């Protein structure tokens, strides 16, 4: 038992700890067996590779020989990468919440020999500070209680297990209607900082799902308060320090209320969801700032997060970049005035004025580049000059020691990215983005799919860990986005196969809803089930969108039935609860009010292509675009069933609920009809 067992892992996070003097081991059945054998509690530490405070606790405690000796003597020590095992992380984050504590990473939980949690926290310093007890004191106290007061431990275990069981069986609500949706939107907009955007106070997170809900509320009601909340937030983010003006891409959040100071880690999922939101909003505003950030962010993902197998020409996308380099948070990203002057020479003065570069800096003596004082881009000539300046800085930055890249390929995060990239490609008419999205899809289907069953992650040539419902949901959504963009019907077939597997292994046949873990995932103490959206949509949220889209595309009533069960199970008549479920409300609207644009024509026909371009350029957020050949037969339950071309020309129909409008054959007529929806 006396060894660190992380050397054979592939997770970059676990490998960061392979040389700790702590006798870490990965999660597995042998953990519980040894806990029983040695009568020791389990210390579970959960984090991820790009987590700054995880690094801090590692340096302070896990690399400290005295603290490590204490851990080894008193506990069975387990390391989990929360991105590899979101099901494990979710269970113990919920357990911490039941203890009245705020969750986060690093997560530090103490478990009984059967894996049941009885106490925990997040970051603990090596000595008492920040109002927190010192980690060595925590270790001694917890071990003593476990040894000397088993009754107290049992009481905690029982209470937490009961709480987890209740959370996994939500009390079904009354269902949803648009009155409760509007009431929730009115409550949600009151949380917004009207000057700086985002929710009020610090820190500020991007929350693209929340702001998509507010944007849809604006599109539905015409209420400018919703519109301004979204536009202010996106503009501040796009011009603030949370955006990497040199290399592209958004950081995970801003630590201040001005969007200036990022927590410098950059995650794939944040950027995917922001691309999707910015694209939807751009369709209404045509704001060149939003288009530029979309293009730059996609370029960053494609160039800096490209991940592949040595034997494969297809590329998926890696998970994240760390916040730290050379042990210092943000060192890779910040600048000094002296550097800017030396690199940009005669352009330096103008650049410094626009990007907030001063002798004293704006953060810890250094400068985080930002343009937060200006909501708009300048003239084309000026912006092209700045782009040249930024390329000079990028070349200089590439000579620095970069932060660690977390090379894991995660099925769910890639699914979100593929969807966003495919939709953006259709809107901005960028075939190369479609190619990148299809390449990533092919990579996942080849390397993380085993006879239809998905793995959750792939790294260093190895696919590992059982898929969670989020994987099937996000990849099915990616397939449907690629169907709309390319017209290839095999993408619908793939989505339906993944949904069938989700129904077989994740659906709760008694109470409804999808569990996070499959029915044959044996190493979880409870199967969690939630609709709450966090930085990413919950698996049930995404499955609701997938099912709603399949219901409209195929006319199969079983998809609608599943949607109705999900909506009732997770609904509430209290808007304060629904605010944390924006995806539920957004996808309820998609189910009820989708606008289907059906184009009948040969895929390579110029008129078909023109109609398709007009459909994707429409600012209608609830649209579902389908292209069918004249020989294709739509299902009898589809509203466009038996409709065909007019005068042998490519023809489009706009259908809402069971009714379709008059056929149109020009992009102008289609755009006009969509404007009237």
Q: Cα–Cα distances in Å, from 510 out to 87, 172, 246, 507, 572? A: 21, 12, 52, 9, 20
Q: Please state the rounded mean pLDDT for residues 563-584.
A: 89
CB 270 within 8 A of CB 416: no
Cβ neighbours for 581, distance < 8 A, ≥ 6 positions apart: 531, 532, 533, 541, 570
Q: Please state the rounded mean pLDDT for residues 512-540.
A: 93
Q: Please state the rounded mean pLDDT for residues 432-445.
A: 97
More confident call, 654 vs 634:
654
**Cα–Cα dist 406/82, whole Å:** 13
pLDDT at residue number 414: 98
- Per-residue model confidence as pLDDT tens digits over 174-210: 899 999 999 999 999 999 999 999 999 999 999 999 9
Judged against a pLDDT cut of 80, whether residue 523 lies above it is answered with yes
User: Which of 114, 118, 116 minimizes the C-alpha distance to 39?
Assistant: 114
pLDDT at residue number 312: 82
User: Which of 196, 219, 318, 338 minimizes the C-alpha distance to 266?
Assistant: 318
The b/e string for 388-418 (b: 16+ C-beta within 10 A; e otherwise) is: ebbebbeebbeeeeebbbbbbbbbbbbbbbb
Judged against a pLDDT cut of 90, whether residue 171 lies above it is answered with no
User: Which of 231, 235, 237 minimizes the C-alpha distance to 250?
Assistant: 237
Most confident of the following: 166-170, 339-343, 647-651: 339-343
Judged against a pLDDT cut of 90, whether residue 13 lies above it is answered with yes
Q: Please state the rounded mean pLDDT for residues 608-615.
A: 97
> Which architecture characterizes domain 595-675 according to CATH?
3-Layer(aba) Sandwich (3.40)
Q: Please state the rounded mean pLDDT for residues 344-363.
A: 97
Q: Is 279 exposed, middle or buried (0-12, 13-18, 19+ CB in 10 A)?
A: buried
- Say what percent of the chain tops pLDDT 90: 87
Judged against a pLDDT cut of 90, whether residue 633 lies above it is answered with no
- Per-residue model confidence as pLDDT tens digits over 637-649: 888 888 999 999 9
Coil, strand, or helix at residue 353?
helix
Tell me which of 4-8, 170-174, 413-417, 541-545 is least confident. Answer: 170-174
pLDDT at residue number 1: 54
Same-fold call for 12-167 versus 178-323+405-593:
no
Q: Could you say which of 3.40.50.150, 1.50.10.10, 1.10.1520.10, 1.10.3720.10 is the CATH number of the domain covering 178-323+405-593?
A: 1.50.10.10
- What residue spans define the domains of the chain? 12-167, 178-323+405-593, 333-397, 595-675
Q: Give one DSSP letter per residue of 56-80, joined into a string.
A: HHIIIIIT-HHHHHHHHHH-EEEEE
**CATH superfamily assigned to domain 12-167:** Glutaredoxin (3.40.30.10)
**Cα–Cα dist 595/640, whole Å:** 12
- Per-residue model confidence as pLDDT tens digits over 33-75: 888 888 899 999 999 999 989 999 999 999 999 999 999 999 9
Q: pLDDT tier at 374 (50, 70, 90 boundaries)?
A: confident
Instruction: Report the mean per-residue pLDDT for the chain.
Output: 95
Q: Please state the rounded mean pLDDT for residues 531-538.
A: 93
Most confident of the following: 220-234, 308-322, 525-539: 220-234
Tell me which of 306-310, 391-395, 512-516, 541-545 is least confident. Answer: 306-310
């Amino acid at each position: 038992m006396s060894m660190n067992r992380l050397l054979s892992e592939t997770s970059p996070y676990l490998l960061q700890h392979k040389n700790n003097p702590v006798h870490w081991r990965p999660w597995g059945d042998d953990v519980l067996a040894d806990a029983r054998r040695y009568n020791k509690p389990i210390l579970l530490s959960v984090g991820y590779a790009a987590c700054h405070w995880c690094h801090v606790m590692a340096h302070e405690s896990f690399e400290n020989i005295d603290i490590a000796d204490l851990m080894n003597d008193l506990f069975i020590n387990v390391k989990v990468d929360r991105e590899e095992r979101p099901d494990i992380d979710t269970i113990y984050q919920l357990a911490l919440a039941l203890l009245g504590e705020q969750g986060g990473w690093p997560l530090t939980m103490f478990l009984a020999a059967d894996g049941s949690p009885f106490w925990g926290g997040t970051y603990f310093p090596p000595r008492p500070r920040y109002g927190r007890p010192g980690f060595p004191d925590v270790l001694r106290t917890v071990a003593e209680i476990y040894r000397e007061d088993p009754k107290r431990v049992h009481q905690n275990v029982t209470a937490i297990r009961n709480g987890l069981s209740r959370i996994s069986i939500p009390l079904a609500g009354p269902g949803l209607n648009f009155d409760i949706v509007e009431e929730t939107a009115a409550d949600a907009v009151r949380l917004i900082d009207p000057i700086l955007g985002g929710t009020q106070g610090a820190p500020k997170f991007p929350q693209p799902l929340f702001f998509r809900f507010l944007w849809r509320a604006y599109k539905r009601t015409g209420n400018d308060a919703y519109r301004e909340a979204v536009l202010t937030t996106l503009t501040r983010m796009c011009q603030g320090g949370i955006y990497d003006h040199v290399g592209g891409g958004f950081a995970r959040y801003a630590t201040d209320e001005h969007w200036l100071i990022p927590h410098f880690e950059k995650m794939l999922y944040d950027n995917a969801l922001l691309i999707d939101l910015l694209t939807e909003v751009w369709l209404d505003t045509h704001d060149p700032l939003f288009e530029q950030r979309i293009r730059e962010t996609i370029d960053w993902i494609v160039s800096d997060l490209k991940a592949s197998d040595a034997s494969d020409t297809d590329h998926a996308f890696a998970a994240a970049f760390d916040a730290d380099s050379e042990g210092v948070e943000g060192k890779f990203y910040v600048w000094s005035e002296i550097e800017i002057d030396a690199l940009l020479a005669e352009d330096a003065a103008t650049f410094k004025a626009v990007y907030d570069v001063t002798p004293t800096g704006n953060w810890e003596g250094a400068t985080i580049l930002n343009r937060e004082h200006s909501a708009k881009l300048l003239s084309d000539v000026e912006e092209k000059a700045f782009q040249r300046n930024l390329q000079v800085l990028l070349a200089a930055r590439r000579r620095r020691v970069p932060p660690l890249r977390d090379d894991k390929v995660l099925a769910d995060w890639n699914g979100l990215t593929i969807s966003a990239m495919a939709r953006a490609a259709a809107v901005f008419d960028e075939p190369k983005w479609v190619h990148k999205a299809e390449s990533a899809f092919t990579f996942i289907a080849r390397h993380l799919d085993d006879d239809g069953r998905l793995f959750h992650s792939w790294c260093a040539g190895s696919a590992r860990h059982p898929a969670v419902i989020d994987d099937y949901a996000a990849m099915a959504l990616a397939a449907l986005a690629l169907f709309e963009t390319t017209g290839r019907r095999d993408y619908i077939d793939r989505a339906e196969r993944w949904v069938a597997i989700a129904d077989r292994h994740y659906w709760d046949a008694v109470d409804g809803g999808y569990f996070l873990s499959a029915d044959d995932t044996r190493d979880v103490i409870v199967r969690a089930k939630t609709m709450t959206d966090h930085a990413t949509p919950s698996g049930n949220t995404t499955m609701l969108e997938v099912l709603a889209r399949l219901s409209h595309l195929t006319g199969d009533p079983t998809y609608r039935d599943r949607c109705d069960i999900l909506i009732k199970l997770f609904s509430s008549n209290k808007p304060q609860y629904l605010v944390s479920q924006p995806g539920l409300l957004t996808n309820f609207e998609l189910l009820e009010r989708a606008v289907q644009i059906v184009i009948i024509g040969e895929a390579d026909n110029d008129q078909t292509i023109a109609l398709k371009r007009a459909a994707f350029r429409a600012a209608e957020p609830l649209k579902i675009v389908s292209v069918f050949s004249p020989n294709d037969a739509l299902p009898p339950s589809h509203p466009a069933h038996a409709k065909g071309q007019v005068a042998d020309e490519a023809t489009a129909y706009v259908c809402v609920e069971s009714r379709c409008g008059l056929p149109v054959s020009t992009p102008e007529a289609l755009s006009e009809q969509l404007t009237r929806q």
